[in-house]
């Protein structure tokens, strides 16, 4: 590890038995300095078979999906369902501070590796379970996918156009929310352990995690308020249509068309700008009379429609960069919808040194990884390991830490335990 102050969780051991539903949890703890050992089945985690692959060559050590969720970790292979595998895992658990799992509720109990059993062996263990609906309740045993969880938690109802069924988010999100909540829960439990000396079970429901992503929409039903509804390029609240996404000449931008006492003054500024641009036929001269109506919320339907039409004509004439320059000059609330290449070349991220180069010696080069999730002035996060190859640290842990003999390790390999 590079010289400098240690990250917060250095000297803590995490056993990560999760799949794609929970791997981010272990990565966040690893970024904080914990020694995270991902425990994979012999042959490697199923996550390693998920595309895309580096240079489009399917290989368990080239999965970019795996790379994205496993930096700063070590890897061992172990069949925890086998008697010898369970015995080895229990030895590791006796030395561990955290365990992360994302199996179906009850599965770990069926293996004799549930929280109650392991807490007896290691009372200080913090045991994080990440599942679709939590460990209890009528849906605890339901099968799920990212799409199912988003549907059950509410965000899916807000995604897409209002004249057709909802659309799934292209990049899986539900379990990333849950895994991040799992890491937060693990840290809270850790600080409790510092005072009490005892660990606890952290039960994370992905459904509950993604419900927060509906923001205040989750509260509407509690107060009999008008619920959020899908609207093309935005949201509809009651009779109000709040368009957010607008076409630019080379992509899209955000500009929230919101009315009422709070948002009215902003719309007055937009109206004034469009009126001043009328020489470009971007606005209707009648917009001049709309300022009082927009400022205090007394706006007729036709006024809103004229504003929306004028904004649409205006944004389509300009590139994203041109619109951002105009927004800065005139104080307009416009934001560019960046593509992934846009993000990678962002001057803002470059100025903050966000992208971190991680060496992959086996491939003979380094790759840019997304940077730390937070910046700590006294204990900065560092990337000290690339994502591990399948069972890369078997010898290091089984021989070096657990003291197995070469003969015993070969025997376990031959029998398919490791």
The arithmetic mean of pLDDT across residues 292-308, rounded, is 62
148, two tokens: 């199912």
Domain ranges of the chain: 13-213+355-414, 244-341
Structure tokens at 358: 């991680």
Which residues make Cβ contacts (< 8 Å) with residue 74, sequence separation at least 6?
35, 36, 37, 38, 385, 388, 392, 393, 396, 397
258 pLDDT band (50/70/90 cuts)?
low
- The answer, yes or no, to whether residue 290 has pLDDT greater than 90, is no
324 band by pLDDT with thresholds 50, 70 and 90 = very high
Distance of alpha carbon 201 from alpha carbon 157, whole angstroms: 32
Within 13 Å and on the Cβ side, how many CA atoms surround 330? 21
CA atoms within a 13 Å half-sphere pointing along the CA-CB vector of 89: 28
For the cut 60, the answer to whether the pLDDT of residue 263 exceeds it is: no
pLDDT band at 1 (very low <50, low <70, confident <90, very high): very low
Residue 82's alpha-carbon distances to 107, 122, 398, 414, in angstroms, are 14, 21, 16, 13
Angle at 185 between CA 179 and CA 188, to 5 degrees: 150
Name the fold adopted by 13-213+355-414.
Rossmann fold (3.40.50)
Predicted pLDDT of residue 184: 97
SS3 state at 188: helix
What is the per-residue pLDDT for 296?
52
pLDDT value at position 171?
85
Is residue 23 scored above 60 in pLDDT? yes
The predicted pLDDT at position 10 comes to 73
| Average pLDDT for 261-270 | 64
What's the mean per-residue pLDDT of the chain? 88
| pLDDT at position 247 | 94
Give 172 or 219, the one with higher predicted confidence. 172
| Predicted TM-score of the model (pTM) | 0.88
For the chain, the residue count is: 418
Question: Rounded to whole angstroms, how far apart are CA atoms 29 and 9?
Answer: 7
pLDDT, position 97: 98
**Where does the pLDDT of residue 118 fall: very low under 50, low under 70, confident under 90, or very high at 90 and above?**
very high
Q: Is the dihedral of CA 58, 61, 66, 68 positive or negative?
A: negative
């Amino acid at each position: 590890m590079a010289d400098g102050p240690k990250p917060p969780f250095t000297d803590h051991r995490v056993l990560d038995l999760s799949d794609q539903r929970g791997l981010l949890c272990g990565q966040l703890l690893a970024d904080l300095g914990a020694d995270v050992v991902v425990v994979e089945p012999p042959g490697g985690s199923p996550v390693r078979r998920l595309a895309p692959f580096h240079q489009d060559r399917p290989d368990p050590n080239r999965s970019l999906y795996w790379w994205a969720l496993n930096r700063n970790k070590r890897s061992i292979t172990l069949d925890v369902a086998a008697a010898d595998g369970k015995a080895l895992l229990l030895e590791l658990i006796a030395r561990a501070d955290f365990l992360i799992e994302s199996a179906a509720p009850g599965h770990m109990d069926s293996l004799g590796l549930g929280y109650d059993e392991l807490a007896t062996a290691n009372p200080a263990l913090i045991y994080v379970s990440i599942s679709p609906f939590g460990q209890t309740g009528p849906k605890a045993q339901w099968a799920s996918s990212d799409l199912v969880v988003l549907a059950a938690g509410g965000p899916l109802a807000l995604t897409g156009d209002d004249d057709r069924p909802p659309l799934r988010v292209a990049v899986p999100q539900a379990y990333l929310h849950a895994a991040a909540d799992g890491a937060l829960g693990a840290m809270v439990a850790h600080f409790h352990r510092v005072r009490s000396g005892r660990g606890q079970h952290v039960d994370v429901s992905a459904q509950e995690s993604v419900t927060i992503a509906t923001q205040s929409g989750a509260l509407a039903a509690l107060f009999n308020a008008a619920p959020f509804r899908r609207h093309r390029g935005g949201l509809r609240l009651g009779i109000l249509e709040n368009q957010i996404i607008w076409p630019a000449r080379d992509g899209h931008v955000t500009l929230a068309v919101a009315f009422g006492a709070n948002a009215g003054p902003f719309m007055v500024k937009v109206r004034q700008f469009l009126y001043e641009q009328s020489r470009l036929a971007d606005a209707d001269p009648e917009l001049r009379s709309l300022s009082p109506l927009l400022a205090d919320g007394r706006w007729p339907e036709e006024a809103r429609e004229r504003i929306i039409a004028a904004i649409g004509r205006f944004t389509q004439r300009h590139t994203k960069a041109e619109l951002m320059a105009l927004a800065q000059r005139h104080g307009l609330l416009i934001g560019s919808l960046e593509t992934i290449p846009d993000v990678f070349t962002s001057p803002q991220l470059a100025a903050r040194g966000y992208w971190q180069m991680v060496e992959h010696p086996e491939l003979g080069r380094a790759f840019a990884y997304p940077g730390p999730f937070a910046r700590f002035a006294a204990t900065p996060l560092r990337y000290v390991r690339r994502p591990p190859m399948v069972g890369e640290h078997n010898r290091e842990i089984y021989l070096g830490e657990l003291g197995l003999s070469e003969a015993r390790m070969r025997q376990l390999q031959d029998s398919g335990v490791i």
